[in-house]
Amino acid sequence: MTLDDLAGRTRPLAEPGLPVLRLDRDDEVAGVVAWFGEDRARRGVHLIVRGEDAGCLFRTDLYDLMGTRSMGFGDSARTILPGASTAWRTLELECPEPGCAESPLYALSFNPAAPPHCRLHPERALAPR
Ligand SMILES: [Zn+2]
C-alpha cells in the first residue's frame, strides 16, 4: 500500500481536534498502524500526506484496510508473525508560529538537514518539540 492508496481511503475532516500525523514516504504507511498501536485511546487521526491535507482516518477504517483472514485450529502453531519489525517511533514536531492550529503534529521521520515545513505556514520549518 502506498501513501496515495491510504489517502484514497480517508474521510473528509469533520471532527476538529484530532491529532495530526504527517506522512511523506510510502514506507511510512506501516507506521500509521504503529501510531494507533502506541495508544489505544487514539480513535482517529488527521493526515497530512506530502504536505497536503488528506482528511482523517479512524481506527475502524484501518481495520478495514488491514483485512483479516480466518484460520483453523492449530494454524498458528510454530508460526511467527509475518514481516520484519519496522520499530516505528513517533516524533512530535512543532511549528514555530505561535498558536498554529496544526501544531504539535506527529511524524514518523525527520531529516534535520531538510525539515518539513508547516502546511499552514509554508515559510516556517517544523522542529522536534
Ligand atoms: Zn504552522
CA of 25 to the centre of ligand 1 (A): 21
- DSSP state letter for 125: B
Residue 72 located in a structural domain = no
Q: Ligand 1 center to residue 119 CA distance, Å?
A: 7
13 Cα–ligand 1 center, Å: 18
Compute the distance between CA of residue 115 and CA of residue 112 in angstroms, rounded to an integer.
5
- Residue whose cell numbers read 495508544: 39
The total of structural domains in the chain comes to 1
Is 100 part of a structural domain of the chain?
A: yes
Answer yes or no: is 91 within a domain.
yes
In a domain, 79, yes or no: no
User: CA-CA distance, 35 to 73, in Å (whole number)?
Assistant: 31
Q: Using CA atoms, how far apart are residues 102 and 41, in angstroms rounded to an integer?
A: 20
Would you give the distance in Å from CA 113 to the centre of its chain? 22
DSSP 128: E
Neighbours of ion ligand 1 (CB under 5 A): 95, 97, 100, 118, 120-121
Q: Which domain holds residue 113?
A: 3-67+86-128
**Tens-level pLDDT at each residue, the chain (129 residues):** 889 988 988 999 888 889 999 999 998 888 898 899 889 999 999 999 999 999 999 998 888 777 665 666 666 665 555 555 557 788 999 999 999 999 999 998 899 999 999 999 999 999 999
Q: Has residue 80 been placed in a domain?
A: no
pTM of the model: 0.77
